[in-house]
Chains A and B, each alone.
Chain A
């Protein structure tokens, strides 16, 4: 393998090069193990029958596959996975749509002070949410939305706006201004131009934005634990409670952890490219 590489680069094959490549692949595989070991343990434990999950035998391979744990985990978690979907779908769509409008204005309709406004919006992305938590809970209570999913959707949409605005603004900066100007010449207004010209070419940015919001709302714990009650818990809160109780067996806990992360992992596997783009946008380098 390494020899081919060397030939490609038209360099002489020296022992030093071969050793170097071997060390490099050795390191890559070592870290592969570091990242995969927890995943291996979760999967194996979650598929073992109860009599095989003793502490001493946790590293053993599967003797047989037992999906009973998953059925038990689903019984405990199904309702909350449903809640998470009810929360995540409207939350991600709304945040992306509003972010798209903001990004459109802040890239194509710049006015004096619009860059400052953009910076002020971005700050919302970096605040530790503890700093707004107490007034937030009071406000959500006053709005009558405390303890339910709609309140949590509202909160996620609001605090998702900064990153969504950033993703869409950076995307639209690459769109030629002439496109917008031509539409304006034809007499379209600001919103009609958005709807007819900008929105249809925004699909890649929407995929990036929606995936980002989907993942971060699905994985959120802080807002959920403070703003929802037992009927409206999303899956993170429910999973933490299952794991915290001494009654639930390890194999069921691991099956629950798999179920709780399956949706975001599926998104990652199939849309990894867009997932990565969203993550890189988070570093302001869109």
Chain B
């Protein structure tokens, strides 16, 4: 299928999608960056080019410092625990367990619901009230004699984002498990058998042989979890509304743009989010698609 004549109908079929994506993805990213280099406020039409002033101003903005800290805490906890749990559960289910399908479908169930639903439900579970108004998980811990687990959840100073990471882990660790399980299943049985013949322990087989083989899966998981955590938004809104202690760039961007009409600052925050995602997604896409060239 190499003749030039044949390419035109193919391009014609593809072009509506291409044009739309060129405008709505690349064009809009360009426009957004353009806005971020001005002092545009939503309602007045004329704006001036001011270079990177917005970017520098945010670096001195205490609210942005909170955002960076919160995103960091959330990302490390969410990605770390999801990976650990996902891999652990996948290895566990890979031990020829009975009713594997049942466990797997329950672990994955949270993926079917929205972050809003998850947030609404966990808000009820992570009720920070104390004393006689104690409720939710705190009440359960207290009743079970696990008092040391009773805590303030998202109201905990500095580390409140850890309480937001918990429902996120609840929602996404089953998915991470599914990714790892698919990876584990792609390792041929002969590999394991050969290692067993050589007298390797089960632990050593996983650690030395299988895990290195499924490293690409781990990379996919980090990219997917990472890009979720850098733009986390609806989960926080549903659990805690908009409060400064739990602020993240996506919420700041939303408020400053659509509540305060500071389009320029909103666009700048958006560009920061984009850069943070792009630095690992672009190399990932480049290497993945290059490798699977057929």
Which residue numbers of A lie inside 8 Å of B, CB to CB?
1, 5, 8-9, 24-25, 27-28, 31-32, 34-39, 41-42, 45, 55-56, 58-59, 98, 101-102, 104-106, 108-111, 115, 117-124, 126-136, 139, 158-159, 161-162, 165, 173, 177, 181, 189-191, 194, 215, 218-222, 226, 236, 239-240, 243-244, 250, 253-254, 256-257, 260-261, 264-265, 267-268, 272, 275-276, 279-280, 282-285
Contacts and interface: CB of A to CB of B under 8 A. Distances in A.
A126 B32 contact: no
A111 B10 contact: yes
A24 B273 CA distance: 41
Contacts of A109: 1, 6-7, 9-10, 13
Interface of B: 1, 6-7, 9-11, 13-14, 16-18, 20-21, 24-29, 31-32, 35, 85, 88-89, 92-93, 95-98, 103, 105-125, 127, 129, 132-136, 139-140, 143, 170, 174-175, 178-179, 182, 217, 220-221, 223-224, 227, 230-231, 233-234, 237-238, 241, 249-250, 253-254, 257-258, 263, 266-267, 269-271, 273-274, 277, 281-282, 285-286, 288-289, 292-294
Report which residue of A32, A126, A177 has the largest number of chain B beta carbons within 10 angstroms of its beta carbon: A126
B96 A5 contact: yes
B274 A127 contact: yes
Given A28-B97, A56-B134, A257-B120, 10 more contacts: A9-B96, A31-B85, A101-B14, A109-B9, A132-B24, A159-B24, A190-B9, A222-B234, A264-B114, A285-B182
A135 B27 contact: yes
A236 B234 contact: yes
**A contacts with B: majority SS:** helix
Contacts of A272: 105, 108
B110 to A, nearest CB: 7
B273 A130 contact: yes
Contacts of B121: 38, 41-42, 254, 257
A221 to B, nearest CB: 4
A129 B227 CA distance: 11
Nearest to B114: A219
Contact of A240 (B17, B116, B133): B116
A190 B89 contact: no
6 contacts: A109-B6, A139-B28, A177-B1, A239-B116, A239-B120, A283-B217
B270 A264 contact: no
**B contacts with A: majority SS:** helix
B186 to A, nearest CB: 9
Contacts of B93: 28
B232 to A, nearest CB: 10
B249 to A, nearest CB: 8
A35 B170 contact: yes
Contact of A265 (B32, B113, B143, B178): B113
A226 B182 contact: no
B7 A111 contact: yes
A254 B263 contact: no
B289 A55 contact: no
B21 A254 contact: no
Report which residue of A45, A101, A181, A261 has the largest number of chain B beta carbons within 10 angstroms of its beta carbon: A261
Report which residue of A102, A127, A256, A276 has the largest number of chain B beta carbons within 10 angstroms of its beta carbon: A127
Contacts of A159: 24
Contact of B140 (A36, A59, A181, A222): A59
A131 B7 CA distance: 33
Given A134-B32, A254-B121, A283-B221, A127 B9 contact: no
B124 A250 contact: yes
A39 B217 CA distance: 29
Contact of A133 (B106, B143, B178, B270): B270
A134 B6 contact: no
A275 B112 contact: yes
Nearest to A25: B97
Contacts of A162: 21
Given A28-B97, A131-B271, A280 B182 contact: yes
